[in-house]
Amino acid sequence: MSISRNTKTVKLLLKLFDKENNALSVVDLVSILSQEMNKTTVYRILQRLEEAGIDPVLFGLTDDDKPEFLPIPQEDVRRALFFRTFWIVLHIVTCFAIIAGNGRTLGIW
């Protein structure tokens, strides 16, 4: 699928994606292209690219491919997921303890 209106600004944005080796945030895009277009135009072009199936994101698209840009090291991701899982399990156990204590106080069991 291709973009319906391949304007000068669309070409400029796509050229920037081809030239850059690093991931660019929308804030980066707006600041780089501030002389050529405004923020609204950048967002509209990104939306049109997404609707056309053109995804300029540098991350992996499937579980099998490797992303070109890793914002966080995998070890930090694993550590964060471990702590988050621990925190959720702790809250669930605490809720069950509160329910059991209130059930005993009210004479339900």
What are the residue ranges spanned by the domains of the chain?
A: 1-63, 72-109
pLDDT score at 26: 81
Per-residue pLDDT for 56 more than 80? Answer: no
More confident residue, 14 or 78: 78
The residues, any chain, with a CB within 8 Å of residue 26's CB and separated by 6 or more, are 42, 43, 46
Instruction: Report residue 74 as tokens.
Output: 């995998």
pLDDT score at 66: 61
For residues 47, 48, 54 and 59, what is the CA-based torsion angle, rounded to 10 degrees? Answer: -10
CA distance 10 to 13: 5
pLDDT score at 64: 62
CATH of 1-63, one of 2.60.260, 1.10.10, 1.20.1740, 1.10.3470: 1.10.10
More confident residue, 53 or 63: 53
pLDDT score at 98: 97
The per-residue pLDDT for range 74-109, each reduced to its tens digit, is 888 889 999 999 999 999 999 999 999 999 999 988
Residue with tokens 């550590």: 79
